[in-house]
Amino acid sequence: MATLDFLKLALRQKAIATTSSPTQPLSDTQYSAGFDIIVRDSGWATYQDFIIPQLSRLLGPLFNSRSHISVLEIGPGSKSVLGHLPDPLRRKIKRYAAFEPNGLFVARLEEWFRTYDNTPEETESPLPCLAHPPDIRQTPFVLGSGTESGTSDGEEKFNVVLFCHSMYGMKPKHKFIEQALEMLVDGGMVVVFHRDGTLHLDGLVCHQTVSFPTGVVHVADDDEVLDCFAPFVGGFVMQDVDADRALRVEWRKVCRALGRREEAHPDHLLFSAPNIMATFTQHATKLPELTAQVPLREENMAVKNREARLHRPAAVVRPTEVPHVQQCVRWALKHGTSLTVVGGGHSGHCLQPNVVAVDMGAFDQVHIVTAGKAEAEFGIASPAMVVAEAGCKTGDVVGKAMSAGLAVPLGARPSVGGGLWLQGGIGHLARLHGLACDAIIGAVVVHVDTGQVVYVGTVPGQHLPAGAVRSADEGDLLWAINGAGTNFGIVISVTFEAYAAPTYSVQNWVVPLSDKLEARRKLIDFGEYARKLPRNVSADAFLYWNANQLHLGVTRFESSTAELTLMPTPSPSLSPVGTIQRPEDNPKVVLDGVELFDAEMYMSGMHGGHGGGKTSSFKRCLFLKDIGAVDVDDTLVAAIETRPSPLCYLHLLQGGGAVSDIPSRETAFGCRDWDFACVVTGVWSRDQDGTEAARAAVQWVYKVVTDLLPLSSGAYGADLGPDPRDAALAVTAFGPNLPLLARLKHRFDPCNVLAYACPLPQLPRGPKLIILVTGESGVGKDYCADIWVSVLNKDKCLTARAVSISDVTKQEYATVTGADLSRLLQDRAYKEQHRPALTAFFQHQVRQRPGLPEEHFRNVVYGAADVDVLLITGMRDEAPVAVLSHLVPDSRLLDVRVQASDNTRQTRRGFHGGGGNDGDENRDNKDGKDGNNAKSNSIAMDYSPSLVFNSEMFGCEGARDFAVRGLFPFFSKNLQRLGDMVQTVPDFPSPGIDFGHILGISQQPGGLALCTSLLKTLFIHDWDDVHAVACCEAGGFIFASALASHVNVPLALIREAGKLPPPTVSVSKPSSHISSSTSGNSTTEKRIEMGRDVVPRGASVVVVDDVLATGRTLYAVLKLLTEAGIGADRVNVMVVAEFPVHRGRELLRRGGFGKVHVQSLLVFGGA
Ligand SMILES: Cc1cc2nc3c(=O)[nH]c(=O)nc-3n(C[C@H](O)[C@H](O)[C@H](O)COP(=O)(O)OP(=O)(O)OC[C@H]3O[C@@H](n4cnc5c(N)ncnc54)[C@H](O)[C@@H]3O)c2cc1C
Cα 390 to middle of ligand 1, angstroms: 11
Q: Identify the band that residue 153 occupies on the pLDDT scale cut at 50, 70 and 90.
A: very low
Rounded average pLDDT over 237-259:
95
Considering the chain, what percentage of its residues have pLDDT values greater than 70? 88
Which CA distances in Å does 292 have to 296, 335, 357, 362?
Answer: 9, 15, 15, 18
What is the C-alpha separation between 394 and 388, in angstroms, rounded? 10
The alpha-helical segments, DSSP class H, found in 4-102 are 4-18, 28-35, 44-46, 52-64, 87-92
What is the C-alpha separation between 604 and 599, in angstroms, rounded? 6
Cα 669 to middle of ligand 1, angstroms: 15
Please, which residues have CB within 8 angstroms of residue 60's CB and are 6 or more apart in sequence?
89, 866
Among candidate residues 25, 57, 385, the one with its CA nearest the CA of residue 234: 25
Cα 716 to middle of ligand 1, angstroms: 11
pLDDT tens-digit readout, 758-809: 999 776 666 789 999 999 888 889 899 999 999 998 877 788 999 988 887 8
The pLDDT value recorded for residue 929 is 35
Among candidate residues 137, 138, 339, the one with its CA nearest the CA of residue 755: 339
What is the C-alpha separation between 688 and 697, in angstroms, rounded? 11
Cα 551 to middle of ligand 1, angstroms: 29
Q: Identify the band that residue 930 occupies on the pLDDT scale cut at 50, 70 and 90.
A: very low
Assess contact for 1097 and 1122: CB atoms under 8 A.
Answer: no
The pLDDT value recorded for residue 516 is 86
Cα 806 to middle of ligand 1, angstroms: 53
- Ligand 1: residue of 365, 420, 701 to mutate (most ligand atoms within 8 A of CB) is 420
pLDDT tens-digit readout, 871-890: 999 886 588 999 999 888 88
- Which residue puts its alpha carbon closest to atom 47 of ligand 1? 341
- Which residue puts its alpha carbon closest to atom 3 of ligand 1? 413
- pLDDT(158) > 90: yes
| Average pLDDT of the chain to the nearest whole number | 86
What is the C-alpha separation between 749 and 766, in angstroms, rounded? 18
Q: In terms of DSSP bridges, do strands 469-470 and 184-195 run parallel, antiparallel, or are they unpaired?
A: unpaired
Rounded average pLDDT over 567-594:
59
Cα 490 to middle of ligand 1, angstroms: 14
- Ligand 1: residue of 346, 448, 493, 623 to mutate (most ligand atoms within 8 A of CB) is 346
The pLDDT value recorded for residue 923 is 47
State the closest ligand 1 atom to the C-alpha of 345, by its place in the atom list counted from 1: 30
State the closest ligand 1 atom to the C-alpha of 412, by its place in the atom list counted from 1: 8
Rounded average pLDDT over 589-597:
82
Cα 718 to middle of ligand 1, angstroms: 6
Rounded average pLDDT over 1116-1130:
93
What is the C-alpha separation between 351 and 979, in angstroms, rounded? 35
State the closest ligand 1 atom to the C-alpha of 350, by its place in the atom list counted from 1: 29
The strands making up 549-560's β-sheet, listed across from edge to edge, are: 589-591, 503-513, 549-560, 537-546, 649-654, 676-685, 615-624, 714-715
- Ligand 1: residue of 329, 347, 494 to mutate (most ligand atoms within 8 A of CB) is 347
The pLDDT value recorded for residue 123 is 57
The angle that helices 630-641 and 516-531 make with each other, rounded to 10 degrees, is 120
Q: Identify the band that residue 481 occupies on the pLDDT scale cut at 50, 70 and 90.
A: very high
The pLDDT value recorded for residue 784 is 93
Assess contact for 492 and 465: CB atoms under 8 A.
Answer: yes
Radius of gyration of the chain (CA): 34
Query: Within its chain, how far is the Cα of 1144 from the centroid?
Result: 33
Q: Identify the band that residue 937 occupies on the pLDDT scale cut at 50, 70 and 90.
A: very low
What is the C-alpha separation between 750 and 869, in angstroms, rounded? 14
Rounded average pLDDT over 1007-1035:
94
State the closest ligand 1 atom to the C-alpha of 445, by its place in the atom list counted from 1: 42
Measured from the Cβ of residue 1021, the count of other Cβ atoms closer than 10 Å reads 12
Length of the chain: 1167
Strand ranges for 729-780 from DSSP E? 769-774
- pLDDT(378) > 80: no
- pLDDT(331) > 60: yes
Instruction: Give the type of residue at 1088.
Output: I
Q: Nearest-5° angle of CA 129, CA 135, CA 139?
A: 150
Q: Identify the band that residue 120 occupies on the pLDDT scale cut at 50, 70 and 90.
A: very low
What's phi and psi for 1057, nearest 5 deg? Answer: -55, 140
The angle that helices 738-748 and 973-980 make with each other, rounded to 10 degrees, is 170
The larger pLDDT score, comparing residue 984 to residue 957, is at 957
- Which residue puts its alpha carbon closest to atom 40 of ligand 1? 491
Highest mean pLDDT among 192-201, 707-716, 826-835, 955-964: 707-716
Please, which residues have CB within 8 angstroms of residue 813's CB and are 6 or more apart in sequence?
819, 824, 834, 837, 838, 841, 842
Assess contact for 181 and 190: CB atoms under 8 A.
Answer: yes
The pLDDT value recorded for residue 746 is 83
Helical (H) or strand (E) element with 823: helix 821-826
Cα 481 to middle of ligand 1, angstroms: 14
Cα 335 to middle of ligand 1, angstroms: 27
The larger pLDDT score, comparing residue 572 to residue 692, is at 692
- Which residue puts its alpha carbon closest to atom 26 of ligand 1? 344
Cα 333 to middle of ligand 1, angstroms: 25
What is the C-alpha separation between 457 and 476, in angstroms, rounded? 11
- Ligand 1: residue of 358, 486, 729 to mutate (most ligand atoms within 8 A of CB) is 486
The pLDDT value recorded for residue 576 is 43
- Ligand 1: residue of 413, 416, 669, 686 to mutate (most ligand atoms within 8 A of CB) is 416
Which CA distances in Å does 411 have to 397, 435, 596, 625?
Answer: 11, 9, 11, 21
Cis ω for the linkage preceding 172 (within 30 of 0): yes
pLDDT tens-digit readout, 269-310: 999 889 999 999 999 999 999 999 999 987 656 788 888 888
Cα 346 to middle of ligand 1, angstroms: 5
Identify the residues whose C-beta falls under 6 Å from ligand 1. Answer: 340-347, 349-350, 360, 390, 411-413, 416-420, 422-427, 486, 490-491, 619, 718-719, 757
Strand ranges for 75-170 from DSSP E? 93-99, 135-137, 158-163
- Which residue puts its alpha carbon closest to atom 1 of ligand 1? 413
Query: Within its chain, how far is the Cα of 754 from the centroid?
Result: 10
What is the C-alpha separation between 145 and 170, in angstroms, rounded? 13
Q: Is 547 exposed, middle or buried (0-12, 13-18, 19+ CB in 10 A)?
A: exposed
State the closest ligand 1 atom to the C-alpha of 341, by its place in the atom list counted from 1: 47
The pLDDT value recorded for residue 61 is 77
- Which residue puts its alpha carbon closest to atom 17 of ligand 1? 420
The pLDDT value recorded for residue 336 is 92
Q: In terms of DSSP bridges, do strands 23-24 and 216-220 run parallel, antiparallel, or are they unpaired?
A: unpaired
Cα 323 to middle of ligand 1, angstroms: 24
The pLDDT value recorded for residue 708 is 95
State the closest ligand 1 atom to the C-alpha of 363, by its place in the atom list counted from 1: 41
Q: Identify the band that residue 909 occupies on the pLDDT scale cut at 50, 70 and 90.
A: low
- Ligand 1: residue of 307, 338, 350 to mutate (most ligand atoms within 8 A of CB) is 350
Cα 193 to middle of ligand 1, angstroms: 30
Least confident residue range of 258-272, 423-437, 567-581, 917-931: 917-931
Among candidate residues 322, 326, 390, the one with its CA nearest the CA of residue 360: 390
State the closest ligand 1 atom to the C-alpha of 757, by its place in the atom list counted from 1: 49
Which CA distances in Å does 671 have to 538, 628, 656, 667, 735?
Answer: 19, 20, 11, 10, 5
672-701 as b/e: b if 16+ CB within 10 A: bebbbbbbbbbbbbeebebebbbbbbbbbb
The pLDDT value recorded for residue 115 is 65
DSSP 1136: E
pLDDT tens-digit readout, 509-564: 888 999 888 999 999 999 999 999 999 999 999 999 988 899 999 999 999 988 65
What is the C-alpha separation between 568 and 842, in angstroms, rounded? 86
The pLDDT value recorded for residue 298 is 72
Cα 420 to middle of ligand 1, angstroms: 4
Q: In terms of DSSP bridges, do strands 892-899 and 769-774 run parallel, antiparallel, or are they unpaired?
A: parallel
State the closest ligand 1 atom to the C-alpha of 348, by its place in the atom list counted from 1: 29
pLDDT tens-digit readout, 943-979: 899 999 988 766 788 999 999 999 999 988 899 889 8
Highest mean pLDDT among 110-119, 838-847, 947-956, 983-992: 838-847
Cα 402 to middle of ligand 1, angstroms: 22
DSSP three-state, residue 926 = coil
Cα 745 to middle of ligand 1, angstroms: 19
Which residues are bridge partners to 341 per DSSP?
Answer: 358
Cα 175 to middle of ligand 1, angstroms: 35
Q: Nearest-5° angle of CA 1144, CA 1149, CA 1153?
A: 105
State the closest ligand 1 atom to the C-alpha of 490, by its place in the atom list counted from 1: 42
- Which residue puts its alpha carbon closest to atom 36 of ligand 1? 419
Instruction: Give the type of residue at 900.
Output: A
What is the C-alpha separation between 338 and 322, in angstroms, rounded? 18
